[in-house]
Every structure is written in structure tokens, then in C-alpha cells.
Amino acid sequence: MIGCSPTLRHSYAKLSSPEKNWVALHSLKAKRAFLISKEVEKVADSIAAENIIGDDNNGGHLDAFKHSFWMARLTQAIGKNAALSLGKAHEKGNYITYKKEKLEDGWLPDKASSEMDLFNNSVGLSIGIHNKKVSRSILMQKVLDSLQNGKLRILNKDVQANFIDCQQNRIPLDSLKNKWDTKKCLISSKK
């Protein structure tokens, strides 16, 4: 990190240990991955502001889009293997975050959210592999199409955004507190 900008050093300091290990193993690709990650955050913020797919970044359509688009863009920019290993490192970091009782995007990570992210990452990886040379806007549309066609996964929720189990029962919030393995249910992203 010597010679890096203060922004990069600050961002590096906030990474989990698995993500820092990824940076050490992929030092030539790390800056590009950082820039892609920032780009994807801006795209997701723009999509949320325009209410294209909603603004639920905790297991909703926006969350699913963000992970899939991130992986698709990373695959284009740094290759399939590096993108896949970064996605896995990020989810390992989420488990560490959970163990330390720290929040990610305002929420305590859990197993169902991690499984959702890994599933959507794999769809994004495939989209990136099959669309290595397309523009960012075309790639974004391919991810949105996958989302709308039900190829991504989201967490089951009711209209009030309460989590719903696979038997369609509302999950009490107190049963989710400080638990990795919850009754949250993954469902198709098809609306």
C-alpha cells in the first residue's frame, strides 16, 4: 500500500482479513477491482434513486442486482478466477463481520444473505464470461433482464418488508438477532 492514494489506503483499512489477503495475492488487479466496486455502488445508487427495481439493499432486488452486476463487471475487468475469489473473500469477510457483531450496509450479515450473494455472484460471473466485450450499459441490461426473468435470488419478504420463511410465515425480528442461521428463505427474483 506504499505509494497509494489516501483514499485507497483508507478503503484497504476497512477490508476484512480475507479481502486483504485477496489484495495481497492480486496486487496488480486490486486497484481495478476497487474502481469497479465504486462504479457498481454508484450504479446501484442511481438505480435506487430512479426506483427501477426498488431500493431494498438488504435481500431485495437492488441487493441481488448489485452483487450480480459487480461480479459481471469484475469478470470483464480482472478475469473469472480473480473475480470469483474476490466474491468468496467478501462473503468470508461477512461471516467475520457477523462474528464481531458488526453491521454490513446497516445490517448484521447472516447465512441466508451470504447464500443469496454467492448465488447472485455466480450468475454475474456467468454473464461476465459470456459478455466480456460488451459495454457497461449492455452488461447492466443483461443483469437487469436476469433479475426480471427470475434468474437471481432474493430473500422472501412481505409487502411491509418483513422477512418471510419458506412456509410463508412472518419471521419475528427477535428471532433474527445475533443469529447466523435463520429461517430466511431464498426465492426467485421474478416479480
Q: pLDDT tens digits for 72-93?
A: 999 999 999 999 999 999 999 9
CB atoms within 10 A of CB 149: 11
Report the domain count for the chain: 1
Q: Is 83 exposed, middle or buried (0-12, 13-18, 19+ CB in 10 A)?
A: buried
34 part of a folded domain: yes
- Provide the 8-state DSSP code for 186: E
Q: Are 107 and 58 in contact (CB under 8 A)?
A: yes
The range of the structural domain enclosing residue 66 comes to: 6-188
Placement of cell 418483513 in the chain: 162
Rounded mean pLDDT, 174-181: 89
Mean pLDDT for the chain overall: 92
DSSP state of 176: T
pLDDT tens, position by position, 17-34: 999 999 999 989 999 999
Determine, yes or no, domain membership for 146: yes
Is residue 1, in this structure, part of any structural domain at all? no
Q: Angle 140-90-137 (CA atoms, 0-180°, nearest 5)? A: 10
Strands 186-188 and 153-155: antiparallel
* pLDDT value for 106: 66
In a domain, 119, yes or no: yes
- Global pTM reads 0.92
Task: Work out the average pLDDT over 48-62.
Answer: 94
**Residue 41 within a domain:** yes
The alpha helices in the chain, defined as continuous H runs, are 6-13, 17-25, 27-49, 61-78, 80-99, 111-130, 136-148
Q: Is 119 helix (H, G, I), strand (E, B) or coil?
A: helix
CB-CB contact of 120 with 128 (8 Å): no
